[in-house]
Amino acid sequence: MNNKIYLFMVSTAAVVFALFFYQFAVTDYSAKQNEQRRKLGAVYMTLNNPFYEVIDEEIRTVAENHGDILISRNPALDVDKQIAEIKNLIDEGVDLIFINPVDWTKIEPALKYAYAAKIPVIAIDTNVENDKFVACTVVSDNYLAGVQCAEHLLKHGDGGKIALLKHSQARSSIDRIQGFCDKISENKNFEIVAEAECLGQLEVAMPAMEEMTAAHPEINVVMALNDPAAMGAIAALQNARKLESVKVYGVDGVPETKEMIFSHRMTATAGQSPKKIGKIAAETAYKIFDGEPTEKLIQLPTKLLTSENINATNIEGWY
């Protein structure tokens, strides 16, 4: 073999071997590379509400775009389970927790646990009682949502007998109902004649509405803390053949309720943007990681959705 050719083959092989060795030397193929990924936790009051599903999707997208992971938990409206799940996430070594509290006051032990562990917490959709223990709260302007529903009612009615569907363990619900009641008190021809707790759940709101209409057949207005509760009220009123004579209000802007408003089975809803809430909450988390200043409270405006501004082109999706 020609010496030049031999030397060329040897040198080429040496270069290939060196590159091959270098690749394995600088690339970590072990499980350790996954240790660099941040772990974020999210514990919602429930995940049987499409509103929270959308928030979770938005947070997950931002986290995964950063190469990180989101661990979501569903305590199914059980505050003790929610506290236990938050503690478990902290013990698993999460770097930050998003919390949507089942009970805005009783969640505090879990918040203190995170605070002591120096794990930042971002409250989403509803406030906590003591914001000392959270880095940021991202919510809709829930009081405004209630006011918007009442303003519509005042504009389109001279008086009425009102039923309230509430969830008094959630600060968001408290603010919505309070905003509605404060505004509607401007006209003494409107009277609240019945109210019931329903946890914001359709399957609880429906029998609660049945009981209220049986006890107060004069009810002709329903203010529900959210759209699932409003849908439960609508189902009960349909069964009682009273829906046509009752105005039903909600809060959320769920696509299904937009269709009900479009077809005149529901009066109005104060629309929220779960996509914006989720995205802003996630972006705030990365500001915290980067040591950037963040706002303590971020409130997003709601938009009243009625048959006047819902049409075939915007009936799908959230506002």
Cβ atoms of residues 99 and 319 within 8 Å:
no
3-state class (DSSP) for residue 72: strand
As a whole number, the mean pLDDT across the chain is 91
User: pTM for this one?
Assistant: 0.86
- Distances in Å between the Cα of 120 and the Cα atoms of 95, 134, 156, 271 are 7, 7, 46, 29
Task: Grade residue 153 by pLDDT with cuts at 50, 70 and 90.
Answer: very high
Residue 101 confidence (pLDDT):
96
Confidence of residue 34 (pLDDT cuts 50, 70, 90): low
pLDDT of 275 higher than 80: yes
Nearest by Cα to 270 from 231, 302, 311 = 302
Predicted pLDDT at 30: 36
Q: How many CA atoms lie within 13 A of 248 on its CB side?
A: 29
How large a percentage of the chain has pLDDT more than 90?
85
Average pLDDT over residues 128-147: 97
- Calpha distance 251→230 (Å, rounded): 8
Would the pLDDT of 214 be above 70? yes
pLDDT tens by residue, 229-268: 999 999 999 999 999 999 999 999 999 999 999 999 999 9
d(CA 105, CA 102): 9
CB 271 within 8 A of CB 303: yes
- The predicted pLDDT at position 319 comes to 75
Residue 112 is encoded by which pair of tokens?
């203190």
Question: With the C-alpha atoms ordered 45, 192, 304, 301, is the resulting torsion angle positive or negative?
Answer: negative
| Whole-number pLDDT of residue 35 | 61
Residue written as token pair 């514990």 = 43
Can you give the pLDDT at residue 179? Answer: 98
pLDDT given at position 311 = 87
Q: Which two tokens stand for residue 138?
A: 């991202």
Helix intervals (H) in the chain = 3-26, 50-65, 79-91, 108-116, 142-156, 171-184, 202-215, 227-239, 255-262, 274-289
Tens-place pLDDT, residues 166-198:
999 999 999 999 999 999 999 999 999 999 999
Alpha-carbon span 110 to 113, nearest angstrom: 5
Among candidate residues 212, 135, 203, 139, the one with its CA nearest the CA of residue 170: 139
Residue 206 pLDDT grade (very low, low, confident, very high; cuts 50, 70, 90): very high
pLDDT of residue 313: 79
- 46-85 tens-digit pLDDT: 998 889 999 999 999 999 999 999 999 999 999 999 999 9
Tell me how far apart the alpha carbons of residues 231 and 255 are, in angstroms, rounded to a whole number.
12
- Provide CB contacts within 8 A for 65, sequence distance 6+: none
CB 194 within 8 A of CB 215: yes
With cut-offs at 50, 70 and 90, classify the pLDDT of residue 318: confident
The pLDDT tens digits of the residues spanning 8-22 come to 454 554 544 444 444
Question: Cα–Cα distance between 172 and 140 in angstroms, integer?
Answer: 8
